[in-house]
Every structure is written in structure tokens, then in C-alpha cells.
A and B are shown apart, each in its own frame.
Chain A
Amino acid sequence: MPEALYQEKNTTKGITHAVIEVAHVSKSFGDRVILNDFSVSLQKGENLVVLGRSGAGKSVLIKCIIGLLRPDCGSINVLGNDVLSLSKNELDKLRQTVGFLFQSNALYDSMSVRENLEFPMRRHLVDISKDEAEERIIEALTNVGLAHTINMMPAELSGGMQKRIALARTLILKPEIILYDEPTTGLDPITGKEISTLIVEIQEKYKTSSIIISHDMKCVATTADRVAVLSDGKCYALDTYENLKQSEDKFVKQFFE
């Protein structure tokens, strides 16, 4: 790893402290090493894009952060909680503050848009009144510009609309951190741009901190405060988008060409 490229910067956008700290994490599936002593941190209020080739382990990284996968070694600290030592209930509680946008949207296809948005609230916000729940659903849908789809089924929506609904479902619990798994993959350039803009708007409106997995360079340019380049399971480079764009490193250059 070129040391010059790997710099933890705490200067962007008035960053104060880390909300996610991933330290020396390794993860293998059988003989295949996916993450190998990977370390990175997400500062409060920033958008960190994790860039890497397909199969480099980007999605594995955020699934380890949210507790869907357990790393072989290392530590993951989210909002002061050691994810690997949390009980199931504690992890559920932590997940209330961490939203996850799945690559495939993962909308429940047997449920309407309203039911999809109600679903996270049924566990985390059990005491919420019906009116308040309805208000939250409308607010989340209005944020993504799709309030009129409330009674539609996911199958009736286009890919871009499904992505927006998935984002609205992520926002329903008003998370402090959002993990985006390839938010613009499979979308046309115009819709992709809209989603990228939406990510920035959400960051500004709700002061969220986000890790965005992507190899769509337009999305990276729009959303990134910092970019971490993942290669061979390690954090190969970490810097601002502009600095990495100027990089002379052969591997990093390939992403910006």
C-alpha cells in the first residue's frame, strides 16, 4: 500500500469525530480472502465513498459494519458501540440509528409501499401513534418525491422509483448513519444523477454520515467528501475526490480515466 495515498483526514466539512471506526478487519469465505487487515473511519457528517473493482469486498465491508456478516478478526465500532460484542437486542437497537440501502432495493414485494415503510417502525417504534406513523411515512415519501405511490406495490414501480422508495424506507427511522450499497447501479444516467443528488440532499437535511459503495464515478464525484479505494482486501488509498483524481498512482488512475 502506498503510504502517501493513505491519509486519514479530519478536516473536511468541519469534521469532529468518527462515527464508524473499522480497524484491522479481515474476512474470508473459504480460501478466498475478501478483506485483509482493512481499516477506515467515517467522520460525523461526511460522505465516504468506498471505491473498488467488482468483487473487491465493498459490500462485504458494509455488511460487516451493520452486523449481517461477522468478520474473522478486527474491530468495528459504530457510534461508540463495539458491533462484534453486541447482543442481538443491542444490535437491533443500534440498527435503528444505521440505515442500509440495499443494492437490489430489497423492497418486500408482497407488501405495498406504505407497508414497506411501516415495517421498520413496527419493531423500533412500537409506541408510535397511527397518525404519527402516517406522518412519518408521508414525510419520507415526500423527501424522495414519491408521495403519490403510497398505495402502490413495488412491482408497479420503475427501477429508479424502487430505489427512491428503498431510500425512503431507510429514512423512516431518521438514522444518523446511512450505508448505501451501489445506489446508482442499474439505473439510467439521469435517474442515477437524481439519486446521487438525493443522497447529498439527505446528508444536508438530516446531517447524516454515510458510507457509499459505488463504482459509478459520476455518483462518486457528486456525493464524496472522501474516497477510500479498496484493493486486495486493504484500503489502498484514502483521500478527497479531487486529490485522488490528480493521483499519479496507476491503479487509482484507472478509476478516473
Chain B
Amino acid sequence: MKIKGQSKILLEEAGAMARFTGVFFKETLRPRYEFKEFFRQCFLIGYKSLPLIALTGFIMGLVLTLQLRPTMISYGVEAKLPAMVSLSIVREIGPVISALIFAGKIGSSIGAQLGSMRVTEQIDAMDVSGTNPMKFLVVTRVLAATFMMPVLCILSDTISLYGSFLGVNIRSHMSVSLFVNQVFNILNFTDIIPSILKTFFFGFAVGIVGCYKGYNSKHGTEGVGQSANSAVVLASVLVFVIDLIAVQITDLLGYN
């Protein structure tokens, strides 16, 4: 009985979210376009997440290199360390870790912001003053998250590789040109393009979930906390689900 009730809630939530996504696409295509607010959101979402994503990217590259080094030495392929790390970072770890950090920072921030706007009637005030809140608040944030996520991922990958270069040079010596050469010898467009493409979907998932949870926030300030929390949880799960689907697609297309 309890499982049946929970399944019903889950399906209702999925349906409501699908409808919300449908309205998002409809409002995205219909004029008037809120360019100014879109660029403001790009700045807030992209620029302000950069330090956190850069820091985690750097640590990720450094730690991965230090952890992999003993194993690579035991197989006698220490020289292949940059190739191994770069492939791991660019294909999988970079996009997924960046997306998870992005979900934590941006998903919660959008959920809490729209949630508090909902409970303090600011969204209703916007509606009354002739501005479509779906367009002004949701479309701009979701699009900004969708377009900023790949940019952040590319920056994070680059900084990760710098961290990896430092990691290699802690215990041994390798020139920058040799490191870069090894990295670009192993990486193909079939590694880079699918990994960048999936980050658009990661960004979209984080944006739409954050907006959906915040926009439909209820029950006062407690509801705002719940919206922010559930936005992060759901967005993080969706990142893994999208990653799983993306891997299957690239596998089917023969890019793995």
C-alpha cells in the first residue's frame, strides 16, 4: 500500500516536471526574449561558480595523478601517466565532478532563490506587473545553466590537467611540452566532443530541476529549504542517469 502511494507520488512528480519542461520550451521559443537577464544569469551562474569548479578540478587532477603513479610504476608505464590521467579527466571525471559541484552550488541556489521568491509572493508580483515569471526567471536561468556548464567543464578539465602536470613533477621531472604532447597524442575528437556535449544536458538538468523545485515551493521557509535540498539531490541523480545514457550512446556509435 505504502509502495503504491509512493509510486503514485513519484509518477505525479515526474508528470508535473515533464509539464514544467514543456512550458519551458514553449516560453523559450516565444518572444519576448529576456536577453539582459539571460546574460546577467550567465555571469552569476558561470563566473561565480568558476573558483569552486577550478579548485576542485585542480585537486582532482593532482590527486588522480598521485594515486595512479604507484600503479603505473608497478606496470612500468610511468611515462604514460599524463595520457592515462588526461583520458580519465576529459572523458569522464571532469564533466561528472564539475556537474556534481555545479548541481550543489547552482541547483541549490536556484531552488532556494525561486523558492523564497514564491513564498514571499515576488513571483506573483512579477506576474501582476506584466512580466512572465516563467520567461524572466526560469527560461533565463535554465539557458544560462545549459550554456555555462560546458564552458566551466572545459576550464575545469584544463585546470585538472595543470594539476596533473604538477602531480607528475612532484616525484619526477617532465617538461611542459612532453606533457602536452602526451595528452594530445592520446585524446581524439571522439573523446572530447561527446564529453562536452553531455555537459549541455548536465547543465540543463541542473537548471530545470532547480527552477522546478523552487518555482513550485510550498509551506513557507521550511519549503524553501526542502526545495533547495531536493533540487541538489535530484539534479545529482540526473547527472549520473544522463551520464549512463551518454555512455551507452557513444558506445553504440562506436566512439568508446
Encode contact with A along B113-136: 1 for CB under 8 Å, 0 otherwise. 100110011101111111110000
Determine whether A6 belongs to the interface, using a CB cutoff of 8 Å to chain B.
no
Per the bound structure, the CA–CA distance linking A124 and B129 in Å amounts to 8
Rounded to whole Å, the gap between the CB of B56 and the closest CB of chain A is 27
Task: Name the CB-closest residue of B to A63.
Answer: B124
Q: Which of A96, A106, A110, A122 contacts B125 (CB 8 A)?
A: A106
| Central interface residue in B120, B128, B132, by most chain A CB within 10 Å | B128
For A110, the chain B residues whose CB sits under 8 A away are: 113
8 Å CB interface, A65-112 against B? 66, 68, 88, 92, 95-96, 100, 102-104, 106-110
Contact of A96 among B116, B122, B124, B130 (CB under 8 A): B130
Interface SS of chain B: helix, strand, loop or mixed?
Answer: helix
Chain B residues positioned under 8 Å from A95 (CB to CB) = 128-130
B120 contacts A123, C-beta separation under 8 Å? no
Option from B124, B130, B132 in Cβ contact (under 8 Å) with A106: B124
Cβ-defined contact, A102 with B130, below 8 A: no
* Bound-state Cα–Cα, A169 to B125, Å: 10
Instruction: Tally the A-B contacts, defined by beta carbons under 8 Å.
Output: 46
On chain A, the number of residues with a Cβ less than 8 Å from chain B's Cβ atoms is 22
Contacting residues, chain B, for A96 (C-beta < 8 A): 130
Min CB–CB distance A250 → chain B (angstroms): 34
Known contacts A68-B127, A95-B129; is-contact A109 B121 (Cβ 8 Å):
no
- Interface residues on chain B, size class: 10 to 19
User: Which residue on A lies nearest to B130, using beta carbons?
Assistant: A123
B132 cross-chain contacts in A, Cβ below 8 A: 88
A120 within 8 A of B: yes
Q: Cβ of A120 and Cβ of B124 under 8 Å apart? A: no
Give the contacting residue for B121; candidates A104, A120, A122, A124; CB below 8 A. A104
CB distance from A10 to the nearest CB of B (A): 29
- Taking the closest CB of chain B, its distance from the CB of A203, in whole angstroms, is 20
From 101 to 143 in chain A, residues with beta carbon under 8 angstroms from any chain B beta carbon are 102-104, 106-110, 119-120, 122-124
A88 and B23 CA atoms in complex are apart in Å by: 15
Find residues 21-64 in chain A having any chain B CB closer than 8 Å to their own CB. 63
Given the complex, which residues of B lie within 8 Å of A68, measured CB to CB? 124, 127-128
Chain A residue nearest in CB terms to B32: A123
Min CB–CB distance B117 → chain A (angstroms): 8
- A114: min CB distance to chain B, Å: 15
Name the residue of chain B whose CB is nearest to the CB of A173. B129
Docked-complex contact B124 and A119, CB < 8 angstroms = no
Q: Is the CB of B122 within 8 A of A109?
A: yes
CB <8 Å contact, B131 and A106: no
Chain B nearest CB from A112 CB (Å) reads 14
Q: Are B131 and A119 interface neighbours, CB within 8 A? A: yes
Between-chain CB contacts (< 8 Å), 13 pairs: A63-B124, A96-B130, A102-B121, A102-B125, A106-B120, A106-B122, A107-B122, A119-B126, A119-B129, A123-B130, A123-B131, A124-B130, A169-B129
